[in-house]
Amino acid sequence: MIIESDVMIPMCDGIQIALKIYRPDKTEKYPALLAASPYQYDTDQLPALPLFLWRETGPIEWYVDKGYAFVRMDVRGSGKSGGSYGYLDKNEQNDYCEVIEWIASQVWCNGKIGGYGQSYYAMAQWLMGTLNPPGLSCIAPYDGLVDPYRDQAYHGGVYSPFPANWYTGVRANNALRPGTSELGNLMDFDLHKELLIHNTYDEWWEERSAYENLSNITIPTLSIGHWGKMGLHLRGNILGYEQIRGPKKLIITGASNTIEAHAMFDKIEFHEQELLPFYDYYLKGKDNAYTSRKNVRLWTYGNECYQEYDQWPPLSSPKHYYLCSVRSGSVNSINDGSLVDDLKAEGDSYTNFSYPDLEWVNGVVSRNERGLDPVGKIITFTSEILDRDIEVIGPITLELYASSDQSDTDFIVKLSDQFAGQDVANAKPLSQPRYKIVSKGWLRASHRYLDEAKTTDLRPIYTHKNVEPLTLNQIYKFLIEIQPVAYCFKKGNRIRLEIANGDSSMTDGSFAHQYLWWKQGTDTYYHSEAHPSRLILPLV
């Protein structure tokens, strides 16, 4: 293997972009894989450990051994590249195109380049694809969002500290060096400040959003997401697959969190089974039957296996579960409400949720005699015990009628599988049934206006431009997007809906939301014939 480090490529504006190139030590021409990020190619040789989550390149040497050149790009303003970092801005996107053109012209390249990598590398691939530079022959975004506003920074308009925390780590890695007080690349760009300034979906976000131009992507695409990344990348892998117009396949794995998704990409076996056949077919022209694979392959929790389909989402029928004030007797929550098939006349039935609760100790998580309790001081609606398996595959919507005595509020919604066992509503000391969070949804009430051009029967899309305070105590109908799932609720279990105006690092980890100072008041959720709040599930 030949390794060329610190290869400096001049861009049209004079900025030098730094590359590190790994390629076979032969005189033949090879296709190239391009991986672009602000994570510094100097970190490529770090061990594949959860400790180093920014090492997202997978098995570089293995790909070289399989006959690929592998090009690592420090994006503008990071690592050894010049210029100012701009977080996926137009300058960075133009650099992708110029670097791809340069790679295609090299004597060791056969003129075909494939996008490569996970997370930031995948976000870069989506943007590369929308620009269609000559030489870019395919992309394989693994765990990559397409809409940084909705998928990362403001879930449903609710501020997320994650991208600011992420950037703090990236800047420190770029700046601090061992054995010296001298700084490396300081990355002066103040992303956190920009995130706060641009708290609505404006031109700043549109510039950085592949979602705006996904239909421009006509090259072959393999989109690989993970059910456990619903607070960051999952939505992007699914929306990207839905909107692009070239040959495409979708895989959603059973990785349940960031560490599992990262570890999967480090395993040679995964690349050999999923990614190498894709690259070999489109970059080398190998007849390996890649295109005969089903278009969609989904890990289905509950069934604990992959299931294959011709389309996404698979054909399904909507199942409506109505919110109801009748107690389920199965969980210790503020209200212990029910999900029912038919909403009988409840008069002016409603549920009040006052906040903050005096017993919250970690976000909306409280404490009882047995320890921390994620559902004891929030609102729940739970189905009867299921008399059969129920398989849910596709996007989910909550239609919620609600009012508030404040000018704004947040809805943070979770869909959970409540496992079979003793119903505990009257248990002493207080206990809770075992359960698993299946999916989540978010909406800030002042961001409730739908983008009519992009909203479909399956998924509400909000403009996040028309922000308007609530009229106090007026009832509104809110459509809340809940992330898609492939999940089989087993016979004997219950389906549970959880609603609060916050979450917790205990239950949501890095993707928990800051509980802002002004969230003090009472929200009311309505569930009657006049206001039939309902959960809409796609049953396969």
| pLDDT tens track for 18-31 | 999 999 999 999 99
pLDDT at position 457? 87
Interior/surface letters 184-212, b for 16+ CB within 10 angstroms, e for the rest:
bbebebebeebbeebbbbeebbeebbbbe
| 353-391 confidence digits (pLDDT tens) | 999 999 999 999 999 888 899 999 999 999 999 999 999
Instruction: State the Cα–Cα distance between residues 498 and 326, nearest whole angstrom.
Output: 15
pLDDT at position 368? 82
pLDDT at position 427? 57
Instruction: State the Cα–Cα distance between residues 337 and 109, nearest whole angstrom.
Output: 63
pLDDT at position 168? 97
| β-strand pairing of 109-115 with 136-138 | parallel
Proportion of the chain in helix, strand, coil states, percent, rounded to 5: 25, 30, 45
How is residue 454 written in tokens? 């992009």
pLDDT at position 50? 85
Instruction: State the Cα–Cα distance between residues 359 and 229, nearest whole angstrom.
Output: 29
Q: What's this model's pTM, rounded to 2 decimal places?
A: 0.96
pLDDT at position 369? 81
How is residue 359 written in tokens? 């017993």
pLDDT at position 430? 65
- The 3 state secondary structure assigned to 407-426 is CCCEEEEEEEEECCCCCCCC
Q: Are 464 and 346 in contact (CB under 8 A)?
A: no
CA neighbours within 13 Å on the CB side: how many for 469? Answer: 6
Instruction: Transcribe 427-459 into DSSP letters.
Output: -SS-----EEEEEEEEEEGGG--B-TTT--SS-
pLDDT at position 426? 56
CA neighbours within 13 Å on the CB side: how many for 346? Answer: 23
Instruction: State the Cα–Cα distance between residues 281 and 288, nearest whole angstrom.
Output: 7
Instruction: State the Cα–Cα distance between residues 174 and 78, nearest whole angstrom.
Output: 7
Cα angle: 294, vertex 300, 306; to 5 degrees = 40
115 phi, psi to nearest 5 deg:
-70, 150
Q: Which residues contact 291 (CB under 8 A, 6 or more apart)?
A: 247, 281
Q: Are 128 and 115 in contact (CB under 8 A)?
A: yes
Which parts of the chain sit beneath pLDDT 50? none
pLDDT at position 458? 86
